[in-house]
Structure 1
Amino acid sequence: MRKKISAAVIGIGLAAISVLATGGSASSHGYTDSPISRQKLCANGTVTGCGDIQYEPQSVEGPKGFPSGGPADGTICAGGNSRFSQLDDPRGGNWPATRMTAGQSYTFNWRFTASHSTTDFKYYITKNGWNPGQKLTRASLESQPFLTVPYNGQRPPSTLSHSGTIPSGKSGRHVILAVWTIADTSNAFYACSDVQF
């Protein structure tokens, strides 16, 4: 009996050390795959030269409170995380883009690798006339989200979809910024999706 307990304690201890050594955490992680996010494009190999994000598309976590708080302008797509700065590179406005129709309903899809108590999900879109060759800033985005989905502290399942109407009057290239705000930490998760109207 004593050997079994000792082995269990050692196993738990090694698991905890492994999490600490790799910088991992027990917090939630997630990303959007519809419209496909930049981090997912990197993870599935559609876009190369992405650095670490190709191995962990679910980890774009940064301070919550957007737009009054959160990541600094120019670092929004990476959640303010310099490890994932390739997501902030506009690549000359040439990220692969999902085709959409302005004014139409669209189903947004999240994938989660771990669950967490959630405040809400918000979706922002760039203004008409913004420059897709520059890094994303608050001034590039409409001031209010076009879709807010309250989640009241619930934990999402492994996949979650939201339906909403894309703002009318959009044409050309745009970016949709999805923000998943966590209820019981100081962070949120960020996902930028390039779209073409």
Structure 2
Amino acid sequence: MRVFRSAVVAVAAALALITAALVVPAQAHGVTMFPGSRTFLCWQDGLRENGAIQPYNPACAAAVSQSGTTPLYNWFAVLRSDAGGRTSGFIPDGQICSAGTGGPYDFSAYNAVRSDWPLTHLTSGANITMRHSNWAAHPGSFVYYVTKNGWNPNAPLKWSDLEQFGSVSNPPQSGGPGGLSYYYWNVQLPTGKSGRHMIFVHWIRSDSNENFYSCSDVTFDGGNGEVTGVGPGGSSPSPDPDPTITPTVTPPPGGCTATLRATDTGWAGHFQGEVTVRNTGTAPINGWKVKWTFSGGQGFEGTPWNGVVSSQPPAVEVKNASYNGQIAANGSTTFGFNGTGSVPSPVPALTCTPA
């Protein structure tokens, strides 16, 4: 695993890491993307179009001031290679959100007791789809916890503050590793919860002793997955490199998302892209439309396949072909293109609309 040893290298690596999200799997892992973990939402909060990280959120800014930007360029790497399924007695109380101090990066700043971390708004007892990054895919199980009623959010988080409310083994993945794809599974949130809480996810690999630890700040206030405390307005993730992580509680029938990755970058001034369109709803969709904007002068070389272009770059719009418009619930399809120019970095934000 790569460790960036200076601020200069860390900043330069930002573009490399974001490009890696388009190109090939990296040797790193994952944290919870919904409800968003501290490191993931702080990365979203601070990431700018030029690849620099400059947080808006004051808690994220304080964490960067303490430990630099390297942890956020590696937001998916809150891990311990020697964990072997251990929790209490292995990671000290008060250091749960950083996985202690024995990991590859210094996440200790993300243990800070503050009331202004990015926050996901939920409803007690609601059904949600949890999402956990698969930056590198591994077999294993996810065990998820929530803080007990009466937990004091103004004190360091202790293992005794947490109670388990479920687990899942080897859930499905939204796409391949190395980007902003994720594992996902349906969960009923605990009933009887109100106000501020923490959701903690422990990912336990079954093929090694490596484990991953993830803290997500939430409030049970009748919300439907809205995120506050991120971006210049503090009301939603900004910038949003991948709209597929926009939180959704009980997705409506026929919703869809789209993700872009580069599949071939072997020749200068050209690349090959693939877009995965996924039905996130509970009923089939019978057509789709994907839009995005290239900001670096990229274009299409020839005609995309498995899709019909209705608007050319830079403001791209691609609709389904006659044979792949119908997507079953939780199903997906892909279309591809040959691109001119450099691989987009950061990844453009794609939107998908059922046609």
Give the TM-score normalised by structure 1: 0.77
Instruction: Verify: 1:139 aligned to 2:139, yes or no.
Output: no
Q: Using the TM superposition, give the Cα deviation of residue 147 of structure 1 relative to its aligned residue in structure 2, in angstroms.
A: 1.6
> Which residue of the partner structure matches residue 303 of structure 2?
none
Deviations 1:3-32 (A, max 9, x none): xxxxxxxxxxxxxxxx57769xx8541111
Instruction: Note closer, same or farther for the CA distance 1:43–1:169 as it changes in structure 2 (3 Å cut).
Output: same
Q: Secondary structure of the residue that 1:113 maps to in structure 2?
A: coil
Which residue type is aligned with residue 137 of structure 1?
K
Q: Which amino acid aligns with 2:76?
A: Q
Quote the offset at 1:157 in angstroms: 4.4
Gaps in structure 2 of 5+ consecutive residues: 6-25, 47-56, 221-355
Tell me the secondary structure at the aligned position of residue 194 of structure 2. coil
Distance in structure 1 (CA, Å) of the matches to 2:120 and 2:186: 16
Instruction: Name the amino acid aligned to 2:140.
Output: T
Counting matched residue pairs gives 171
For residues 135-158 of structure 1, what are the alpha-carbon distances to aligned partners after superposition, in whole Å with 9 as ceiling and x for unaligned? 21111112xx21200229x9x943
The Cα of 1:80 is off from its aligned counterpart by 1.1
CA 157–70 in structure 1, closer or farther in 2 if over 3 Å, else same: farther
Matched, 1:75 2:95: yes
User: Is the 1:27–1:115 Cα contact (8 Å) retained in structure 2?
Assistant: no
**Other-structure match for 2:116:** 94
2:214 pairs, out of 175, 187, 191, with: 191
Residues 66 and 21 of structure 1: is their aligned pair in 2 closer, same or farther, counting only changes over 3 Å? closer
Larger relative contact order (C-alpha < 8 A, sep ≥ 6)? Answer: 1
The answer for the alignment partner of 1:112 in structure 2 is: 134
CA distance in 1, matches of 2:140, 2:90: 15
Cα drift, residue 68 of structure 1: 4.6
Name the SS of the counterpart of 2:107 in structure 1. Answer: helix
| Maintained 8 Å contact 2:30/2:132 | yes
SS at match of 2:97: coil
Distance 2:92 2:4 in 1: 26
Check conservation: 2:88, 2:159, Cα contact below 8 A.
no
Question: For residues 146 and 33 of structure 1, what CA distance do their matches in structure 2 show?
Answer: 18
**Conserved in 1, the CA contact under 8 Å of 2:200 and 2:214?**
yes
Instruction: Give the deviation of 1:61 after TM superposition.
Output: 0.2
Please, which runs of 5 or more residues in structure 1 have no aligned partner? 1-18
Could you tell me how far apart the structure 2 residues matched to 1:21 and 1:137 are?
A: 29
Supply the distance in 1 between the matched residues of 2:72 and 2:120 (Cα, whole angstroms).
19
What TM-score, normalized by structure 2, do the two folds share? 0.44
How far apart, in 1, do the equivalents of 2:121 and 2:3 lie?
A: 41
